[in-house]
Structure 1
Amino acid sequence: MRAVDLGCLEGGYSVELAKMGFDTLGIEARQENIDKCNFVKENLGLQNLHFAMDDVRNLPKYDKFEVNICYGLLYHLNDPVAFLKTVSECTTKILLLNTHFAPDRDLRYELGHLNRYVIAPIQKRAKALAPQQNYRLSPMTTNEGYAGRWFREWSKTAGKAKIEKMLWASYNNNRSFWLRKKDQTKVLHDVGFGSVFEQFDYTGDIAPDNYTSRHSRTMFVAIKH
């Protein structure tokens, strides 16, 4: 079976998939990250481990995969619906999707600049005042026909060199769109996944039980019939 790790960063998940026997491809946009991936590949000697420096939106040129891993990537895109349609077209069996989602109701995000420049900085310093992480999201709106909130990745004036060094941020878009949780589920069905589940124990023993509610982040398992 073939597996793809989208936005693979330094290749950690790609390595584990290859060790399990999958013919694995990790796709990563930044040169610094892909250099680390290739260093790992050279030292592990896994012949079924491959990396490509590319925009994940170009996934179709790498053909189809039985298993698709999308961890910590979707919420960095400004076109998540179009991207998930591409992912579905390139996935024949299963998608594992770990992503943030936009809270359905959060008064802070309706306050615009007041939250961004006053409330959020205070809560960052005094975490006890923020039972839910404050990501400075936009008020609820729609994008590509689905509900969610916008997140600012970096300033429009940021230069290419600076963006290259932002290893945990988006690459080609300065803001990203976080789908509302129920819209996220609906999108996965709409793009062609017959069954969609939420996995609640995906953090194992490395995070507290309230991780999903506090960080508005969860794991979806989408299956092709």
Structure 2
Amino acid sequence: MRKFTAHNIRLDDGSFTRKEKGIDMSQHPVMLICKRVIEEHYPNQTYIGRRIVDIGCLEGGYTVELARMGLDAVGIEVRQSNFDNCIYVKSKVDLSNLTFVHDDAWNIEKYGRFDIVFCCGLLYHMENPKRYLNILSKICDELLVIDTHFSVVETKEKFNLSDLEIHEGLKGRFFQEYSDPNKTQNENAKWAAWENHRSFWPLYNDLMDAISDVGFSKVYEVESPTRGIHNQRATIIALKD
């Protein structure tokens, strides 16, 4: 068994990748929210066969559960150790509609268009989040699900963020991913950005406006346990006409 650091995935033989975590990925709060939103947007299982991408998929746990729903699921992961875990999981589940690719999230346009885009725990690792939202808008035909941190106006924050600044036309704060800007592509820093030494967290309203500005006609937050735990984290749904 390979060592997993994050995702507790149920394999077809009944074993789990991180059994000590208790609940498996099918019961993860963000997965349950995503499943509910997809089922509401595509009633009567009309989501089956639609294309979805899980960007920065880590060890593939969400991607597997999305494939088990019947979606044509693609997981993109840049870190080799995480990708190796994804490939291991794929070998242990019988899902012909499950694909993993080893690539940087910024190269997502190479993989065509998707009905649904799932972006969990990635946007707050981007130095230029609005530029990335523009890319997501280009490849997303209908539904975007984002789970991300954001900044607040108050200075007393849980995270070590910069003073308020304007970046990409958005108000927000910078978060330091790496202390040395010349050392960023760290294979072992699984909870840090891949190639930028700092990331930008827009204020909540600026983030919502940015998602709308790039081409989504309806943008709203759904109730999520991550909001209560982190306060500065939200699960956001965006729809195209």
Q: Is the 8 A contact 2:181 2:197 kept in 1?
A: no
Distance 2:107 2:92 in 1: 28
Q: Which residue of 1 aligns with 2:104?
A: 55
Specify which structure has the higher proportion of helix.
Answer: 1
Q: Which residue of 2 aligns with 1:185?
A: 208
- TM-score normalised per structure 1: 0.82
Q: How many residues align?
A: 192
Instruction: Find 2:148's aligned residue among 81, 99, 118.
Output: 99
Distance 2:54 2:184 in 1: 25
Q: Which residue of 2 aligns with 1:31?
A: 80
Letter in 2 for 1:174: H
| CA distances 1:150-192 after superposition (whole Å, capped 9, x unpaired) | 000112266467x110111100001000011000000011000
| CA distances 1:192-219 after superposition (whole Å, capped 9, x unpaired) | 000001001x33xxx6x73252xx0011
Letter in 2 for 1:76: H
Q: Which moved more, 1:138-147 or 1:151-160?
A: 151-160
Does residue 189 of structure 2 align to residue 171 of structure 1? no
Which runs of at least 4 in structure 1 moved beyond 6 Å after TM superposition?
Answer: none
Q: How does 1:195-210 map to 2 (within 5 A)?
A: 195-200=218-223, 202-203=224-225, 210=228
Distance 2:228 2:179 in 1: 31
Q: How does 1:68-107 map to 2 (within 5 A)?
A: 68-106=117-155
Note the residue ranges of structure 1 that are not aligned, 5 or more in a row: 109-132
Distance 1:212 1:184 in 2: 17
- TM-score normalised per structure 2: 0.76
Q: Which residue of 1 aligns with 2:173?
A: 149
Q: Is the 8 A contact 1:104 1:181 kept in 2?
A: no
Letter in 2 for 1:217: R
- CA 1:136–1:160 in 2, change beyond 3 Å: closer, same or farther? closer
Deviation at 1:105, TM superposition (A): 1.8
Distance 2:153 2:171 in 1: 9
Note the residue ranges of structure 2 that are not aligned, 5 or more in a row: 1-49
Structure 1 counterpart SS, 2:92: helix
Distance 2:182 2:210 in 1: 32
Q: Which residue of 2 aligns with 1:134?
A: 158
